[in-house]
Structure formats: C-alpha cells, structure tokens
Copies of this chain bind each other. A is one copy, B any other.
Amino acid sequence: MANPYETDLPKTQANFTAMSPLSLIARTAAVYPDYPSVVHGSRRFTWAETYARCRRLGSALAKQGIRSGDTVAVVATNIPAHYEAHFGVAMAGGVLNAINTRLDAAAIAFIFDHGEAKVVLVDRELSGVVKAALTQCQTKPFVVDIDDETYTGPGERIGGIEYEAFIAAGDPDFAWELPADEWNAISLNYTSGTTGNPKGVVYHHRGAYLNAVGNAVEWGMGRFPVYLWTLPMFHCNGWCFPWTVAAMAGVNVCLRRVDPAMIYELIRTEGVTHFCGAPTVLTMLINADPKLKDGLKRGVKVTTAGAAPPAAVIQSMEEMGFEINHVYGLTETYGPAVVSAWHSAWDPLSLGERARLRARQGVRYGMLEGLTVKDPETMQDVPADAQTMGEIMFRGNLVMKGYLKNRKATEEALGGGWFHSGDLAVMHPDGYIEIRDRSKDIIISGGENISTLEVESVLYRHPAVLEAAVVARPDAKWGETPCAFITLKNGASATDKEIIAFCRDNLAHFKCPKTVVFTDLPKTSTGKIQKFVLRDKARAL
C-alpha cells in the first residue's frame, strides 16, 4: 500500500529551495541594509553596498562569459574584493578558486590549468608570481587586477582591467539565481598534496551553507559580530566565515597581512569581537611588544585550528583575556567540522588543566553526522581508552563533494562510507578525540601545510643527493619547520647552505628546509624509510 505521506506531496518552488550562502547575504542586505559590512582602512561599506558590489561582480563575470561550472580564480590577500568574490562568483554560476598566496609560480600555474580558470582576479601585491604562473600554464584566463587603493607597495598591473572598473560595468540589480541543485559546486580549494600534485577539493552550496551556519552555532557567535580577517580567505574559503559573517550581519574587518601591531590596533579601534587563526598567529600575539597590548579589552573570542595548539599557547592567550575556541578540520571538511566543546564542570580547574582539555580536538559539529577514530584496515572503531591510535574519520554534510577530476583519489578518500582524514588520534573515554600524530608526512609551518614529498622531490633533483627524507622539526615561532635528512652520493659533497639555496630556487620559500642533516637513512626490512625515527631525531636536534 502506498505511503500517503510520500504520495502527491512533491517538491515545488513554494516549499523547496536549494540551500546556498547566496541566500544569506540577500537576507542580510534586505533586513540590515545600513549596517556595516566590510571595513578596510578608510573604506567602509554597508550591507546594501556590499550586496550591490557582489551583484555587480556576478553580472560582470556573466558578461565575461562565466557560466555554471566555470572556474574563477582569485589570488589576493584579505581585501574587500576577495570577500565579494565569495558571493559574486557564485551569483554568475561560477566556482570560486581562492589560491594560496604563498605558492610559487609553478604551483599556481598547475592550479590554473587543473582548475581551468576562465577568469583570474589578482591583487597587485601578488601580480609578480601570477604573471610568472601565466607564462607557464596552458589555460589563458581573463585577468582582472585588484589595485586596492589602500595598497601602496610594489607590483604591476598585469590584466586587462582594474577590479573597480570591471564591476562598475556590472548591474547592481543583477538577477542572480540559486543553483539548480544545492549539490552543485560553489568553490574549489587545493590541498598542498601529500602525494605529488595538489588535489582540488570541491565544495557544494549545501555544505557551504550548513558549515556557515554551523560556525555561528558552535561558536555561539550571535548577531552582529565584528570579525577580524586574520585567517586567510584562501584557506578553505576562510573556513566558510565569509558566509558566516554575512549570515550574522557582522562586520568584516579586512587585514592585508598578519601583523600583531595592526591586529591589536584594529581590536581597539574597530571593536573586534571575533577572529580566527592558527596557533602561530596566537604565538605572535603572545610574544608581541607588551606596549601593543595596552588597554586590550577582555572577552575577544578567538577560534584556533590548523595544528594541535600547545596547551601553553591556549593558557597564555586566556591569561591575556582572550576566550579560546578550539576547532579542527581539513580542507576536505570545509575547514572546521570538529569543536573542543566546553563543559562548565571544567571551569573550576586550573588554567593549565583547562588548557590541556581545550587542546583536545573534540567532538563533531552539530552539522556533521559522524566523527570517529578507526583502524583503517578493519574499519573498526578504536576503543575509547585515550591510548589506542587510529585514523580520524568523518561522515556527513560537512565532507567535501570530492576531488576535481580525480575519481580515484575521491573514491579512496571517501571509501567505506567515511572520509579518511589521514590524521592519527586517540579517542578519550568522554568521546573527545585528540590528535597524537598528524598524517605521517604533512608539516604544518605557520599554519601552512607543506608536503614532505614535494620537498623531497626537489632535493632528489640536486646532483649530490642520493636519498632524502623530510620531516617536521618543532619550532617556537612557526610551530614546525621542514628538516631534511640527506645521504650524499658516493664521492659527492654539499653543504647545508647549498642545499637550502637549491630549494629556494625551486620551491616556495616557506617550504624550504630550515635544517639539513647529512646521514644514512634508517629503513625497514623492506627498504621503506622510517620517518618516525627521523622525527625523533629532529625533535632532539
């Protein structure tokens, strides 16, 4: 017998809408048109203005030929145009590809080609590397220069038109449409790639919407936050916060670079209530000139992630009056999808004990369906004994759509009904996870992922190098830096300075080893290099 609840009750235009972050900015612009939206130096926009600028951008991109599924790349710092791109590109039906500004030209060229960028928006400060990338790639995108009026440093214009002129030709009443399906792509974010070339992580409208709302709920953000952009928008779309801030009708305080003096000043002058940052950013704030901290109000809320934050960092921040929220996630999970949810029962504990609890990665976001630690061989959950290591696995609406044009990697990553994070952790008896070792290879330096395989592949190209292995070395300033263990060819010679210089000629500088050790490499009986031995050695250096 037919189930009457599922008969004659179809989805219609009246009762079903694709979920999309575009709805969030439209609503905020309608309800709070005169509220501040974006602040950048002396430039100040309202939500009505920002929404109109996004629509102009969407219209201009549509005129430029951008259609559903076309990629629009952005290489920019955290400036208004970058924020607007988080809406305007999708309004044209396009897919936003915000690119890590620290990559070298070859990596950017690879991404332009792999993502098939049709249009590139480029911050004049970063035009040098983009110009070089454009000479190396096959694709020939239309280039728009963002010549931000508050930027007076070096860098030439390399495109056909400046951003303000580009959007001025767009329609501020552009009748954008929601995606035909909420599963359609909204953005493309490249991982650093542990196995050769970076992978393009695809986000869809549904997931971006849910994580945007989830960020606000998990952080207890409330309406009208004043959000400082310490976190790069190119990192997982700023962990989806461009959309969160629109949903909550907050203020986006732009920031061209992470500078403690500027951060402390903006907290004071703009009344910043919230910001995000890797532990490295927190360390910079802790070690900043004490004079910068004069008159700092207590209660500014900080979300940190990107590496396991040392308890000492959390403790120091809390002593300064910041309220720390610790989250965890990966590019593949729209940024944060796990939160170290706080219990009032922990309030009376010592600051150190509280920091230790806060440093655990925690529990799933309400919007995520499943989070667990499994033995990746058997797919069985590890016991919740705080001892047994396993792989962190995610399931639900905050897991990526997949890797662009990489069916094999997508199927591997999402195999068995769970996203395999590659991060190793234990499960505590209270259901909180804690990372005990990150994925075997990745180094996180200053909040940036560095693939050891990529560095090794450069080292292997040096004529004197026989074998090379790169591991993380703990670093007070950067969290970690790459440490290279090298065996030279018989009769060959090289110095650590030569090796590092060679790397700087062939890699983004932040990826280059800071330490080089010449030695034989420890190996398993089957000839596999034992990186865990090298990690111990690097720690002891």
Contact = CB atoms under 8 A, between A and B. Distances in A.
A17 B341 contact: no
The A interface, classified by DSSP as helix, strand, loop or mixed, is loop
Contacts of A69: 3-6
B395 A30 contact: no
A397 interface: yes
Contact of A14 (B11, B31, B419): B419
A410 interface: yes
A185 B404 contact: no
A363 B30 contact: yes
Given A69-B4, A363-B30, A399 B14 contact: yes
Indicate the member of A12, A414, A415 with the most B CB atoms within 10 Å. A12
A184 interface: yes
Nearest to A417: B13
Nearest to A416: B14
Interface stretch (A127-135, A214-222, A462-470): A214-222
A291 interface: no
A415 B183 CA distance: 26
Given A5-B185, A6-B184, A69-B6, A31 B405 contact: no
B3 A68 contact: yes
A497 to B, nearest CB: 44
A431 interface: yes
Contacts of A422: none
A9 interface: yes
Interface string A1-33: 001111111011111110100011001001110
Contacts of A13: 395, 417-418
A6 B405 CA distance: 10
A267 interface: no
B15 A419 contact: yes
B8 A410 contact: yes
Contacts of A401: 5, 9, 15
B4 A116 contact: yes
A253 to B, nearest CB: 18
A455 B401 CA distance: 55
A95 B414 contact: no
A73 to B, nearest CB: 14
Interface in A21-62: 23-24, 27, 30-32, 34
A15 B400 contact: yes
A343 interface: yes
A364 interface: yes
Contacts of A217: 213, 216-217, 247
Please provide the 5 A-B residue pairs with the shortest distance between their CB atoms, ordered closest to farther. A3-B69, A13-B417, A5-B185, A15-B399, A14-B414
14 contacts: A4-B69, A4-B405, A5-B188, A9-B402, A13-B417, A14-B418, A15-B396, A15-B414, A16-B397, A17-B395, A17-B396, A23-B366, A24-B366, A27-B366
Given A14-B415, A217-B217, 11 more contacts: A5-B69, A8-B402, A9-B402, A13-B417, A14-B413, A15-B400, A27-B363, A30-B363, A213-B217, A213-B366, A247-B366
Interface of A: 3-9, 11-17, 19, 23-24, 27, 30-32, 34, 68-69, 95, 116, 183-185, 188, 202, 207, 213, 216-217, 220, 222-223, 247, 341, 343, 345, 363-364, 366, 369, 394-397, 399-402, 404-405, 407, 410, 413-419, 431
